[in-house]
């Protein structure tokens, strides 16, 4: 899962990014509103964390710019302001959730996971595809009732496929959601990760759709 963090406080953004990466998220950081607006309009993200008090362009203007540009990614507004008018303006601009500073990083992670899960059409925290179960709130996988140990890259690929189960996920989209923007990626690296997942889960669970991408399916499980 790939997150856009738009926050001008260097210390806070560093701590948030570190906490999210420890949970296997890919994190892109923008330090001002103009950069955040551009990133949200041109790159692919699963969810955005957006501060209101940003330099160059405030958070509400950034959010309106994304929505006017038909960017429908879930947005969690993060701000030191705790007044009702700020919440109203944020939600009217298209925010999906609101978290006031100070906050616990654990709560932020849980809220982000819930936003991504609901954006992909899953109301319940546990998502199942055949023998495989994903607890989208805890970020854990079980196969036939037993925990599945995954590397960070394997988790990113599998969570993306799981939340879009029975749907073909484009190779380019998977790459954008799995790798950091400055990572050097080999042309066959995605195939290698999928191959490792098939060994752990069973080859029948992940279907290759030639010329398009991959699909997690329970049809042959």
Domain closes at, from 96, 119, 142 = 119
Pairing verdict, β 75-79 and 97-100: parallel
pTM over 0.95: no
Q: Are residues 97 and 130 in the same domain?
A: no
At 128 the pLDDT is: 95
Regions of the chain where pLDDT drops below 50 = 221
Domain closes at, from 119, 134, 157 = 119
Q: Are residues 147 and 210 in the same domain?
A: yes
Domain closes at, from 98, 119, 140 = 119
At 221 the pLDDT is: 46
pLDDT tens column, 172-183: 888 888 877 665
At 123 the pLDDT is: 85
CATH number at residue 172: 1.10.10.10
Determine the structural domain holding residue 152 and report its residue range.
126-216
Q: Are residues 171 and 102 in the same domain?
A: no
Buried b (16+ CB within 10 A) or exposed e, 82-105: eeeebbebbeebbbbbbbeeeeee
Per the structure, the count of domains in the chain is: 2
Q: Are residues 6 and 70 in the same domain?
A: yes
Q: Are residues 103 and 16 in the same domain?
A: yes
Q: Are residues 93 and 145 in the same domain?
A: no
Q: Is 190 left (phi over 0), alpha (psi -120 to 50) or beta?
A: alpha
* 29 belongs to a structural domain: yes
């Amino acid at each position: 899962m790939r997150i856009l963090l738009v926050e001008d406080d260097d210390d806070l953004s560093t701590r948030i990014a570190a906490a999210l990466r420890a949970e296997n998220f890919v994190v892109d950081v923008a330090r001002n509103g103009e950069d955040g607006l551009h990133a949200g309009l041109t790159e692919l993200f699963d969810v955005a964390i957006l501060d209101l008090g940003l330099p160059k362009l405030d958070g509400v203007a950034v959010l309106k710019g994304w929505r006017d540009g038909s960017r429908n990614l879930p947005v969690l507004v993060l701000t030191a302001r705790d007044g009702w008018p700020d919440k109203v303006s944020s939600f009217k601009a298209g925010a999906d959730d609101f978290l006031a500073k100070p906050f616990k990083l654990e709560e932020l992670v849980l809220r982000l996971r819930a936003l991504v899960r609901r954006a992909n059409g899953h109301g319940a925290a546990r998502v199942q595809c055949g023998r495989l179960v994903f607890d989208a709130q805890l970020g854990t996988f079980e196969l036939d009732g037993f925990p599945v140990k995954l590397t960070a890259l394997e988790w990113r690929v599998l969570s993306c496929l799981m939340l879009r189960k029975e749907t073909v996920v484009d190779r380019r989209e998977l790459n954008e959601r799995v790798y950091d923007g400055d990572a050097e990626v080999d042309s066959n690296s995605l195939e290698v990760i999928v191959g490792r997942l098939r060994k752990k889960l069973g080859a029948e669970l992940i279907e290759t759709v030639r010329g398009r991408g991959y699909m997690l399916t329970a049809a042959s499980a």
